[in-house]
Amino acid sequence: MDRRHLLMMTVPALLAPSALLAKTKAPAAKAAADPYAPTEVAIRPDFEVGSIVVVSKDFFLYHVIAPGVAVRYGVAVGKAELVWKGRATVGRKTEWPSWKPTPAMVKRSPDHYAKYAENGMPGGPTNPLGARALYLFDANGNDTSIRIHGTTEPNSIGHAVSNGCIRMRNPAVIALFDQVPIGTPVYVY
């Protein structure tokens, strides 16, 4: 290839950089098709970097990554009477967590939960807590029984269906799990 051919191939690329960048914009188009896909967004600047903010009525969890910037994830939240709100901290983190329904869950729906009341369910792909769980603790260090966790029902994202916990798609909760340390503040509205 001579210099003339090389220049003829290079000049269009220099004059039309947007054509080269078009490939990097494709994920944004995908995110628009899925409103619950992880997306970087602006957030109020008064939330501390690293914190987690959940807006239950909108079905979004925000992980603050810089002043005024967060990654927004779609979530499922508690049914109307079971929405938990408040401030907590991540007190424990578990990969492929085991699960045991709370006594209140068993009382509300014994046909569904009684079989797990005594021994629970070991962690794994069929466990309702999914791939990861962040356990929320109150200001006194007590477990709130509220979790931010994965799910075996990814189509539940964007709905009020849980017993109070905050569900995420498994790939999303794995990403969040890897980024937040124990002690991370969590605000649920």
Structure confidence at residue 5 (pLDDT) = 40
108: helix, coil or strand?
Answer: helix
Catalytic residue ranges: 149, 165
Which one is predicted more confidently, 103 or 169?
Answer: 169
Listed by start position, the domains of the chain span: 1-33, 74-188
Residue 172's contacts (CB-CB under 8 Å, 6 or more residues apart) are 38, 73, 74
The pLDDT tens digits for 27-60 are 445 545 899 999 999 999 999 999 999 999 999 9
pLDDT at 66 over 90: yes
Structure confidence at residue 33 (pLDDT) = 86
pLDDT at 151 over 80: yes
Give the residue ranges of DSSP H helices in the chain: 3-15, 17-33, 103-108, 110-113, 170-179
The pLDDT tens digits for 1-28 are 444 443 333 333 333 332 222 233 344 4
Sign for the pseudo-dihedral over CA of 75, 78, 80, 83: negative
Indicate the CATH number of 74-188 among 2.40.440.10, 3.30.930.10, 1.20.870.10, 2.70.170.10.
2.40.440.10
Q: In the structure, what pLDDT confidence band is assigned to residue 84 with cuts at 50, 70 and 90?
A: confident
93: helix, coil or strand?
Answer: strand
pLDDT at 124 over 70: yes
